[in-house]
Amino acid sequence: MVFIESIGGVVVGTVTHIVKVTTLLVETVFWALVGPFKGKFPKIRAIYDQMVFSGLQSFVITFFVAFFTGIVIAMQSAYQLGKLGATIYVAAMVSVSMARELGPVLTALVVAGRVGAAITAELGSMKVSEQIEALQTMALNPIRYLVVPRFLALIVMLPCLTILSDLIGIGGGYLVGVFNLGLNPDRYIDFSFQFMVWKDVYTGLIKSFVFAMIISLIGCYMGLNTRGGAEGVGRATTLSVVTSFILIILFDCILTGIFYFSNM
Amino acid sequence: MEKGEPIIKVEGLKKKFGDRWVLNGVNLEIYKGETFVIMGGSGCGKSTLLRHLTGAIKPDEGKVYLFGKDIATLNEDEMDAIRKKFGMAFQSAALFDSLNVGDNVSLPLREHTKLGKSVVDIMVKMKLELVGLRGFEALMPSQLSGGMKKRVGIARAVAMDPEIVFYDEPTAGLDPIVTAVMDKLILDLSKTLSVTSVVVTHDMNSVFRIADRVLMLYEGKVAEIGTREEIRKSKNPFVQQFVSGSPDGPIRFFQQKDDYLESLTK
């Protein structure tokens, strides 16, 4: 009986969270799209600041992750393809797996750890020190002022980072292919882009767009619902990163399934 | 004191947190221009009552009227229109960490008015002058002391020239001199800006310095309501104990001794 009750509790809790996050998404999109027609424009300055923080300043960490991933895939696939005497296909292996899968997912995970955590910690501290309530009392909507700039900045910057990460990964593979496997540089580049079709790129970008929504919404939701002082902020931040990670992998699976079965 | 339509009216307000009725049937009326103090011990529900008056919490039962309107029935836009007519000074000041003092005070002006930058700058200087902090515009909140933060919070609360200002524990955690300065500040603001002030506090010295009328809250109910002289002379044992600050009386701080041994050995 207790067992069933606790399962029921978990289900009800999860559904409540899903409903609330969806409501936050709807309100955010409302303020981003409909707000301007009511003369309530998003703050350009705030969006710019968030873009610098979540995009530009995430570049270094994205660079290292993509670069080394590119090197690793090149070495691992050379190990297999070498047995078939098809080492040149390392180029295609690296470029397609970066564009379809590793570029979007690894970038999203890195950004969830860096930006998602920062969003929750900042909004959570504002919540526990009454700053969110102060905004409301001044008739300033927290979703418009805090959530919309972070949401817009991420859905623009994460796909940009993903494109860069794809290219950097290919660069990492290039180093292995040319200097270690002794492949012809021009042929390597040819093979990289010959096998990568348009679909590989745009499915990757659709994924990163969805991941950006997940990171910003979960980050803001956890932040705005923080309770219980400094400890609460720590708990919310951990929960935000963990939830984002799980949702990113889950939606990666769902989207890959959709692209795979629909032959998009 | 001129009467007329109350600017704030609360009818049968009840609020439950978990299993506990934090507010259990509160009625009050606050009139234009008066300084109304809500006092009571820690955890008696006075901050919760204040947050009902600002619309931050919705009542479980009962009604809250601001400027004659039942705030539970208003939509977001109508509520925002009401919010622009009052200011709130928070207990922790709640200044925005990312903005300097000047930007904190000017935020509502920049967002809700079409005033030019030079006019806003002048208004910020005037508001900071009111709280004795002119020239501190460029400092960040983290560089201020607790009392200074609270004063900036007050300057921000009156930035829009509100008709009502709410103060949540304006003197908590301040030394006696700063406390007296804060009390004088609240009185001056009430006079110079002719605003209605609603102050939540448990500091009896403050109560007798600033209050026109006082409400004593005990266990979610109104224990007594009256002018400060009526409160001072009140025969109500709860009020007497609170005013004199005595550990013995009807307000129990310690639990009953009877079950002490039992709870130790349980």
pLDDT tens string B127-146: 999 888 889 999 999 999 88
- The ipTM assigned to this model is 0.85
Q: What is the pLDDT along chain A (264 residues), one digit of tens a residue?
A: 788 889 998 999 899 999 999 999 999 999 888 878 877 777 888 899 999 999 999 999 999 999 999 999 999 999 999 888 888 899 999 999 999 999 999 999 999 999 999 999 999 999 999 999 999 999 999 999 999 999 999 999 999 999 999 999 999 999 999 999 888 999 999 988 888 888 899 999 999 999 999 999 999 999 999 998 899 999 999 999 999 999 999 999 999 999 988 875
Taking the C-alpha atoms of residue B249 and residue A33, their distance in angstroms, rounded to an integer, is: 60
Per DSSP, B196 falls in state: E
Say yes or no for a CB contact (<8 Å) between B94 and A131: yes
pLDDT at residue B228 in the model: 86
Taking the C-alpha atoms of residue B203 and residue B182, their distance in angstroms, rounded to an integer, is: 12
Q: What stretch of H or E contains B176?
A: helix B176-192
pLDDT digits (tens, 9 = 90+) for B51-89: 999 988 889 999 999 998 898 888 888 999 999 999 999
Q: How many CB pairs under 8 A join A and B?
A: 45
Taking the C-alpha atoms of residue B1 and residue B227, their distance in angstroms, rounded to an integer, is: 11
- Is A37 within the bounds of a domain? no
- Is A2 within the bounds of a domain? no
Say yes or no for a CB contact (<8 Å) between A138 and B111: yes
Nearest-Cα distance to chain A for B104, in Å, is 11
Quote the domain boundaries for residue A242: 48-261
> SS3 for A40?
coil
Length reported for chain B: 266
Say yes or no for a CB contact (<8 Å) between B97 and A133: no
Say yes or no for a CB contact (<8 Å) between B84 and A137: no
B77 touches chain A (CB under 8 A): no
Which residue out of B97, B110, B160 would a mutagenesis test of the A interface target, given it has the greatest number of A Cβ atoms within 10 Å? Answer: B97
Helix %, strand %, coil % of chain B (to 5): 40, 25, 40
Transcribe A97-154 into DSSP letters. Answer: HIIIIIHHHHHHHHHIIIIIHHHHHHHHHHHHTTHHHHHHHTT--HIIIIIHHHHHHH
Q: How far is CA B158 from CA A111, A137, B195, B209, B213, in A?
A: 40, 12, 9, 21, 22
* pLDDT for residue B254 is more than 70: no
pLDDT at residue A163 in the model: 95
Q: Name the residue among A203, A83, A222 with its Cα closest to residue A150.
A: A222
* pLDDT for residue B48 is more than 60: yes
pLDDT at residue A2 in the model: 83
* pLDDT for residue B265 is more than 60: yes
How many structural domains are present in chain A? 1
Whole-number mean pLDDT of chain B?
Answer: 87
Q: How far is CA B140 from CA A213, B133, B216, in A?
A: 32, 13, 37
- Is A35 within the bounds of a domain? no
pLDDT at residue A169 in the model: 95
Nearest-Cα distance to chain A for B261, in Å, is 33
Confidence tier at B256 by pLDDT (50, 70, 90)? low
Most confident of A221-235, B201-215, B250-264: A221-235
pLDDT at residue B1 in the model: 45
A158, A208 contact by CB (below 8 A):
yes
Chain B residues inside the 8 Å CB shell of A130: 90-92, 94
Locate A51 and state its tokens.
């873009």
- Is A40 within the bounds of a domain? no
Chain A residues inside the 8 Å CB shell of B107: 138, 140
- Is A87 within the bounds of a domain? yes
* pLDDT for residue B124 is more than 70: yes
- Higher-confidence residue: A166 or B40? A166
Q: What is the mean pLDDT of residues B163-176?
A: 88
Percent of chain B topping pLDDT 70: 95
Per DSSP, A221 falls in state: H
pLDDT at residue A204 in the model: 93
- Is A5 within the bounds of a domain? no
- Is A152 within the bounds of a domain? yes
Helix then strand count (H, E) for chain B reads: 10, 10
Taking the C-alpha atoms of residue B172 and residue B262, their distance in angstroms, rounded to an integer, is: 37
* pLDDT for residue B189 is more than 90: no
Residue written as tokens 């102050």?
Answer: B199
Q: How far is CA B14 from CA B28, B58, B160, B201, B237, in A?
A: 13, 10, 31, 21, 24
B108 touches chain A (CB under 8 A): yes
The residue of chain A nearest to residue B160, with distances taken between CA atoms, is A138
Confidence tier at B253 by pLDDT (50, 70, 90)? low
Q: How far is CA A31 from CA A39, A115, A123, A147, B84, in A?
A: 11, 22, 18, 10, 20
- Is A17 within the bounds of a domain? no
